[in-house]
């Protein structure tokens, strides 16, 4: 038997675990959608950071090759 939480129509308390549960499935769906958007944004940022790191590595290699080319032609 769940107990209603005072002043919150969609919340109930499980007396066995003392957990508060939200019975409003729309709120849960909104939460899942927000979490998915946040995960996609985080992944996008991570991809950009990876690309920048790769570009930095490529530039370092190009600089090294240019130094070798310049030093080898003298």
- Position 72 scores a pLDDT of 84
Could you give the CA distance from residue 44 to residue 49 in angstroms, rounded to a whole number? 9
Q: Which structural domain, as residue segments, surrounds residue 32?
A: 25-74
Task: Give 13-41 pLDDT, tens digit per residue.
Answer: 999 999 999 888 898 899 999 999 999 99
Domain count, the chain: 1
Residue 15 covered by a domain: no
Predicted model pTM: 0.61
Answer yes or no: is pLDDT of 73 > 80. no
13 and 19 in contact (C-beta within 8 Å)?
yes
Cβ pair 27, 10 in contact under 8 A: yes
* Rounded alpha-carbon distances, angstroms, from residue 14 to 25, 37, 63: 17, 31, 64
Residue 12 lies in a domain: no
């Amino acid at each position: 038997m769940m107990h209603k939480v005072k002043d919150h129509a969609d919340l109930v308390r499980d007396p066995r675990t003392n957990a508060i549960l939200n019975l409003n499935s729309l709120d849960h769906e909104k939460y899942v959608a927000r979490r998915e958007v946040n995960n996609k944004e985080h992944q996008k940022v991570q991809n950009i950071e990876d690309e920048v790191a790769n570009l930095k590595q490529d530039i370092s290699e190009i600089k090294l090759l240019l130094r070798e080319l310049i030093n080898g032609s003298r």
